């Protein structure tokens, strides 16, 4: 995004103030309002779509496939496609990596086990139709919703197939399907937050212009228990990145801890909503 | 305060109004409000009309090429599309961003179908109006305007293909600073006599006809500029009683010179947090008006600002419900005034 | 495949339709008002397509420009989850390229390109779900999005697919039907019988071609009427809003 030097210094100075002034007057812990819809793809086990007020949009689909547990290296595969970017570009590979690694380390693959030989493999396909700021936060929220609303077909064949190998068969009755993440489970999928650093201040969900003038950025993971790994720094603008102080790290940690709980609550209430499943 | 709000998509256009209005199938109603014509629809088979934008003719018949409303002005028949990019007209006051620096001209993005052109000869260069353009000017173009700079200008003329040629040959035009840029749909901007306004709270706004809006701290609030201006004025007035040739002219050139150099400066003046807060509030208000698809005028912007003071933090204005409630307040207030 | 009857003795297809019945067709325009100049969403049976149009606008690089007319660029993104069986697609896949070229050629004729010289019209299509008739759904979505963007077109281009089962022509094939019979996709200009698009996948006997074309043209006209109704409805809503 092109900004004039005057615009840059205006934005930077506003953000570096104590207390900071964000260009849309949000508080440092405030997200931009989102629109979300779920379960609009009948051919996928789970689907979710989130759109921001500036037009950024992401659609995530979760599909399952029965595999021989021994034959696969991982039971969750994430694939990210960003409109306008090559699939092998650094930008897309990095996004893919972050989402994949947090799911690899913080997802109970035990729920995917069907029998002693077979398991479900789930494919999380993300499509970013449009993005203005770094889309990792958007991707993470949409992925959370898609996973929360995913249901898998119910196994009707024998669970114990040690002796006799048997291809798993499933109930045709979709009402019998089980949610991937049971409602009574304590587990919630992990989230990733993007934080921008300007001066001594940190901001959650930075907009494109805030990113442009930021001096540094962070990617921070969150789960119900609290802040988890990763806790990486990332350069959000293509200008020179300034170093980070311990102060930034502490502030960002507190910020994510504060927001994380509310974000989870908001997402969970969307996931519970049984209302009409239209995409728009 | 809430960290995050997630709502269901607003299928507002789709469901709420569709049941109320009766939907005619394909036939154009000759009602009072203009009816919609769609591409390929026959508008008239009378060959006497001159065909304007949004139409094409085949075998003496005129067809519409866009979805829009028919406009019959004098002998010109045209169809105005319901939506579309900004189309420049001569005399429009626009805000633009420089995209390219080229051979004696700049290319400026004004949100239209093509970038506009700003010729080197159409800008004020430091040193005064009568300064001859030299070769070094061409090489130093980036010192005046470079890629990414924002400026406001007037559309001087249009090229054959409809693209605009701009000029900034007035002190009210030029590079913009001390403020914040907002983009709203150009269809919501009403063409008026004046597009630069002073808003309560010491803020100036330039509402470009192209939907590019610039909020800034009012220039006179700047003490240093004021001081130099006063100095010049003092010199001029003192010279009026005992006139010596050349005295007045020296100060005039210097005035021009100073203001010209200021015009191309990239450095902001000091802007207090209260001014910054006011600017963010106004920008959220104009975004609220845009969201509610209300035509943007100075009065409505001020009304929106006043309505928004009910919310202590301007950050509440990013929520859809708040934007819609402010929009409703403004519409209702106008209806009551009649 | 023995338990699926593609065309029963009573004249019913596997989903209960008759030979000349269209699947459920729903469409919306202006679905992405703030992020693109024109947008649309089309559902044809179980196929779901989003189309985003930007332009006419200044292109990124000068080399793309034509001084006489607008340049069209189509990007087709078929999601890997769009089919029942997930399949990751490369952007350079031949099938995708063929569809892109077909769409570009069709719309270069349909848009009044000569009034937008030196500009770029960028069309982005996202296929979220496909169940037969992919090219037809994409064509319809592009038509609607271009109209929404206010880009001048000579007329609607409405498209539908059709096939031949033994000697019976069948209208608007779903994915299973497409797998077993030759498919003809046809794009019709407005209310006329002129073809803007014609794609035949596999073979049909020449003497049967006319019957398939006939139902395709009729089907396209019906789709055009549905699209036109939506454009008018949306137009009325817009006008009533702006006048208030």
Judged by a CB distance cut-off of 8 A, whether residue B148 touches chain C is no
Angle at CA of residue C235, ends C231 and C240, nearest 5° = 155
Contact flag A54-C35 (C-beta cutoff 8 Å): yes
Q: How far is CA B292 from CA B82, B288, B329, C241, in A?
A: 16, 6, 11, 9
With a cut of 90, say whether residue B10 has pLDDT above it: no
* pLDDT tens per residue across span C25-35: 999 999 999 89
Contact list in C for residue A129 (CB cut-off 8 A) is 50, 52, 124, 126
Contacts of C212 (CB under 8 A, 6+ apart): C162, C163, C164, C169, C184, C204
Judged by a CB distance cut-off of 8 A, whether residue C77 touches chain A is yes
> What residue spans in chain B does CATH classification 2.40.50.140 cover?
84-176
Contact flag B3-A30 (C-beta cutoff 8 Å): yes
Judged by a CB distance cut-off of 8 A, whether residue B246 touches chain C is no
Closest CA to B323 of B3, B5, B1: B5
Within a domain: A5 = no
Task: Give the per-residue pLDDT at C53.
Answer: 97
Strand B6-7 to strand A34-38: parallel, antiparallel, or no bridges (unpaired)? parallel
Q: What is the CATH number of domain B36-81?
A: 2.40.50.100
Mutate to test the interface with A, among B6, B181, B185, B317 (most CBs of A within 10 A): B6
Task: Give the per-residue pLDDT at B252.
Answer: 52
Minimum distance, in Å, between the CA of residue B33 and any CA atom of chain A: 29
Span A23-28, average pLDDT = 94
Within a domain: C5 = no
* pLDDT tens per residue across span A49-71: 999 988 999 999 999 999 998 88
Contact list in C for residue B83 (CB cut-off 8 A) is 30, 37-38, 148-150, 238
Contact call for residues C137 and C49 (beta carbons, < 8 A): yes
Give the nearest chain A residue to B145 (CA atoms): A4
Contact call for residues A209 and A3 (beta carbons, < 8 A): yes
Domain containing C197 — which CATH number? 3.30.230.70
Percent of chain B at pLDDT > 90 equals 62
Span A223-233, average pLDDT = 89
Judged by a CB distance cut-off of 8 A, whether residue C239 touches chain B is yes
Task: Give the per-residue pLDDT at B139.
Answer: 72
Strand A151-152 to strand A118-130: parallel, antiparallel, or no bridges (unpaired)? unpaired
Closest CA to C72 of C136, C116, C134: C116
Task: Give the per-residue pLDDT at B52.
Answer: 92
In DSSP terms, A155 is beta-bridged to: A170
Span A16-38, average pLDDT = 95
Angle at CA of residue A38, ends A33 and A40, nearest 5° = 130
Task: Give the per-residue pLDDT at C240.
Answer: 85
Within a domain: A4 = no
Instruction: Please count the other Cβ atoms lying within 10 Å of the Cβ belonging to residue B237.
Output: 9
Q: What is the DSSP string of chain C?
A: -TT--SS-TTS--TTS--TTPPPPEEEEE-S-TTT-SEEEEEEETTEEEEEEEEEEE--SSGGG--SSS-EEEEEEEE-TTSSSS-----TT-HHHHHHHHHHHHHHHHHB-GGGSTT-EEEEEEEEEE-SS-HHHHHHHHHHHHHHHTT--BSS-EEEEEEEEETTEEEES--HHHHHHS-EEEEEEETTSS-EEEEEEES---HHHHHHHHHHHHHHHHHHHHHHHHHHHHHHHHHHHHHH-
Span B3-27, average pLDDT = 56
Domain that holds residue A177: 13-274
With a cut of 90, say whether residue B199 has pLDDT above it: yes
Mutate to test the interface with A, among B3, B142, B271, B276 (most CBs of A within 10 A): B3
Which tokens sit at C214?
């006939």
With a cut of 60, say whether residue B293 has pLDDT above it: yes
With a cut of 60, say whether residue B120 has pLDDT above it: yes
Report pTM: 0.91
Query: Looking at chain B from residue 27 to 56, which residues have their Cβ under 8 Å from any Cβ of chain C?
Result: 33-34, 36, 38-40, 54, 56
Number of domains in chain C: 1
- Share the mean pLDDT of chain C: 93
Contact flag C81-A65 (C-beta cutoff 8 Å): no
Within a domain: C14 = no
Predicted confidence band at B184 (pLDDT cuts at 50, 70, 90)?
very high
Closest in B23, B66, B331 to C152, CB measured: B66
- Share the mean pLDDT of chain A: 91
Span C206-227, average pLDDT = 96
Closest CA to B297 of B205, B215, B200: B205
With a cut of 50, say whether residue B240 has pLDDT above it: no
Contact list in B for residue A17 (CB cut-off 8 A) is 273, 276
Minimum distance, in Å, between the CA of residue A23 and any CA atom of chain B: 6
Contact call for residues B118 and B108 (beta carbons, < 8 A): yes
Contact flag B268-A33 (C-beta cutoff 8 Å): no
Judged by a CB distance cut-off of 8 A, whether residue C79 touches chain A is yes
Span A139-167, average pLDDT = 86
Within a domain: C116 = yes
Contact flag C58-B17 (C-beta cutoff 8 Å): no
Considering only the C-alpha atoms of chain B, give the largest distance between any 2 of them, rounded to a whole number of Å: 82
Query: Looking at chain C from residue 20 to 49, which residues have their Cβ under 8 Å from any Cβ of chain A?
Result: 28, 31-32, 34-36, 41, 46, 48
Sign (positive or negative) of CA dihedral C178, C184, C190, C196 = positive
Closest in C28, C149, C236 to B21, CB measured: C236
Task: Give the per-residue pLDDT at B117.
Answer: 97
Number of domains in chain A: 1
Predicted confidence band at B247 (pLDDT cuts at 50, 70, 90)?
very low
* pLDDT tens per residue across span A69-84: 888 889 999 999 999 9
Contact call for residues A125 and A77 (beta carbons, < 8 A): no
Task: Give the per-residue pLDDT at A166.
Answer: 76
Contact list in B for residue A37 (CB cut-off 8 A) is 8-9
Minimum distance, in Å, between the CA of residue C119 and any CA atom of chain B: 7
Judged by a CB distance cut-off of 8 A, whether residue A25 touches chain B is yes
Alpha-carbon distance A161 to B337, whole Å? 79
Domain that holds residue C56: 25-243
Domain containing A238 — which CATH number? 3.30.230.70
Neighbours of A, requiring at least 3 CB pairs below 8 Å, are B, C
Span B193-199, average pLDDT = 94
Task: Give the per-residue pLDDT at A10.
Answer: 96
Span B61-70, average pLDDT = 95
Span C170-180, average pLDDT = 94
Task: Give the per-residue pLDDT at A183.
Answer: 78
Minimum distance, in Å, between the CA of residue A60 and any CA atom of chain B: 16
Predicted confidence band at B222 (pLDDT cuts at 50, 70, 90)?
very low
Within a domain: A211 = yes
* pLDDT tens per residue across span C201-212: 888 999 999 999
- Share the mean pLDDT of chain B: 83
Q: What is the dihedral of CA A159, A163, A164, A166, to 10 degrees?
A: 30
Contact flag A61-C84 (C-beta cutoff 8 Å): no
Within a domain: C67 = yes
Query: Looking at chain B from residue 310 to 329, which residues have their Cβ under 8 Å from any Cβ of chain C?
Result: none
Alpha-carbon distance A254 to A144, whole Å? 22
Within a domain: C10 = no
Among the four given CATH numbers 2.40.50.140, 2.20.25.10, 3.30.930.10, 3.40.50.300, the one describing domain B84-176: 2.40.50.140
Judged by a CB distance cut-off of 8 A, whether residue B183 touches chain C is no
């Amino acid at each position: 995004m092109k900004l004039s030097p005057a615009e840059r210094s205006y934005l930077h100075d506003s953000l570096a103030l104590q207390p900071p002034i964000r260009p849309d007057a949000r508080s440092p812990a405030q997200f931009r309002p989102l629109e979300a819809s779920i379960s609009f793809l009948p051919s996928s086990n789970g689907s979710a779509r989130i759109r921001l007020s500036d037009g950024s949009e992401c659609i995530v689909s979760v599909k399952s496939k029965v595999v021989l547990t021994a034959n696969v290296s991982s039971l969750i595969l994430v694939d990210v496609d960003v409109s306008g970017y090559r699939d092998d570009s650094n930008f897309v590979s990095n996004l893919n990596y972050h989402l994949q690694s947090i799911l690899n380390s913080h997802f109970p693959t035990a729920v995917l086990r069907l029998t002693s030989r077979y398991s479900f493999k789930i494919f999380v396909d993300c499509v970013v139709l449009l993005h203005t700021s770094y889309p990792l936060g958007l991707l993470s929220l949409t992925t959370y919703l898609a996973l929360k609303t995913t249901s898998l077909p119910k196994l009707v064949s024998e669970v114990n197939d040690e002796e006799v190998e048997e291809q798993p068969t499933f109930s045709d009755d979709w009402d019998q399907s089980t949610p991937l993440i049971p409602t009574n489970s304590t587990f919630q999928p992990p989230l990733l937050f993007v934080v921008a650093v300007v001066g001594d201040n940190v901001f959650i969900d930075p907009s494109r212009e805030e990113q442009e003038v930021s001096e540094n950025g962070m990617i921070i993971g969150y789960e119900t228990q609290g802040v988890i790994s990763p806790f990486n720094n990332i350069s959000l603008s293509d200008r020179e990145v300034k170093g980070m102080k311990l102060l930034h790290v502490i502030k960002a940690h507190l910020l994510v801890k504060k927001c994380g709980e509310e974000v989870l609550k908001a997402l969970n209430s969307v996931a519970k909503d049984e209302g009409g499943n239209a995409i728009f | 305060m809430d960290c995050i709000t997630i709502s269901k998509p607003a299928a507002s256009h789709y469901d709420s109004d569709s049941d109320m209005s009766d939907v005619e199938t394909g036939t154009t109603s000759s009602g009072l409000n203009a009816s919609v014509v769609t591409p390929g629809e026959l508008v008239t088979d009378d060959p006497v009309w001159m065909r304007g934008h949004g139409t094409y003719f085949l075998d003496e018949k005129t067809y519409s090429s866009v979805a829009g409303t028919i406009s019959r002005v004098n002998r010109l028949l045209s169809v105005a599309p319901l939506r579309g990019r900004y189309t420049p007209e001569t005399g429009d006051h626009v805000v633009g961003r420089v995209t390219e620096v080229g051979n004696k001209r700049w290319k400026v993005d004004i949100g239209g179908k093509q970038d506009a052109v700003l010729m080197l000869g159409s800008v004020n260069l430091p040193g005064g109006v009568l300064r001859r353009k030299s070769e070094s000017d061409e090489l130093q173009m980036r010192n005046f305007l470079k890629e990414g700079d924002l400026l406001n200008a007037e559309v001087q003329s249009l090229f054959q293909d409809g693209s605009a040629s701009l000029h900034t040959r007035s002190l009210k035009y030029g590079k913009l600073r001390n403020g914040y840029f907002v983009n709203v749909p150009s269809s919501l901007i009403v063409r008026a006599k004046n597009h630069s306004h002073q808003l309560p709270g010491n803020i100036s706004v330039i509402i470009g006809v192209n939907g590019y809006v610039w909020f800034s701290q009012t220039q006179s609030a700047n003490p240093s500029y004021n001081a130099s201006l006063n100095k010049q004025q003092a010199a001029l007035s003192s010279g009026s009683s005992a006139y010596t040739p050349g005295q007045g002219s020296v100060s005039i050139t210097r005035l021009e010179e100073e203001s010209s150099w200021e015009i191309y400066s990239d450095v902001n003046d000091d802007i207090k947090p209260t001014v910054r807060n006011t600017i963010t509030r106004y920008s959220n208000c104009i975004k609220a008006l845009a969201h509610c698809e209300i035509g943007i005028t100075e009065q409505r912007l001020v009304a929106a600002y006043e309505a928004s003071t009910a919310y202590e933090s301007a950050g509440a204005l990013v929520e859809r419900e708040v934007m819609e409630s402010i929009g409703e307040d403004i519409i209702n207030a106008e209806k009551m005034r009649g | 495949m023995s338990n699926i009857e593609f065309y029963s003795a009573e004249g019913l297809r596997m989903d209960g339709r008759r030979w000349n019945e269209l699947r459920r067709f729903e469409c919306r325009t202006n679905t992405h008002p703030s992020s693109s100049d024109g947008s649309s969403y089309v559902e044809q049976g179980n196929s779901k397509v989003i189309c985003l149009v930007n332009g006419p606008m200044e292109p990124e690089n000068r080399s793309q420009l034509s001084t006489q007319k607008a340049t069209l660029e189509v990007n087709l993104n078929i999601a890997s989850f769009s089919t029942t069986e997930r399949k990751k697609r490369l952007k350079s896949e031949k099938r995708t390229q063929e569809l892109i070229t077909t769409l570009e050629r069709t719309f270069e004729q349909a848009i009044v390109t000569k009034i937008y010289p030196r500009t770029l019209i960028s069309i982005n299509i996202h296929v979220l779900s496909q169940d037969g008739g992919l090219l037809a759904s994409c064509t319809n979505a592009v038509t609607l999005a271009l109209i929404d963007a206010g880009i001048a077109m000579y007329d609607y281009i409405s498209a539908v697919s059709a096939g031949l089962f033994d000697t019976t022509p069948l209208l608007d094939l779903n994915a299973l039907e497409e797998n077993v019979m030759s498919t003809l996709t046809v794009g019709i200009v407005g209310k006329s019988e002129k073809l803007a698009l014609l794609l035949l996948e596999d073979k049909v006997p020449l003497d049967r071609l006319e019957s398939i074309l006939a139902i395709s043209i009729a089907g396209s006209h019906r789709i055009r009427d549905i699209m036109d109704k939506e454009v008018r409805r949306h137009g009325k809503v817009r006008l009533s809003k702006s006048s208030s």
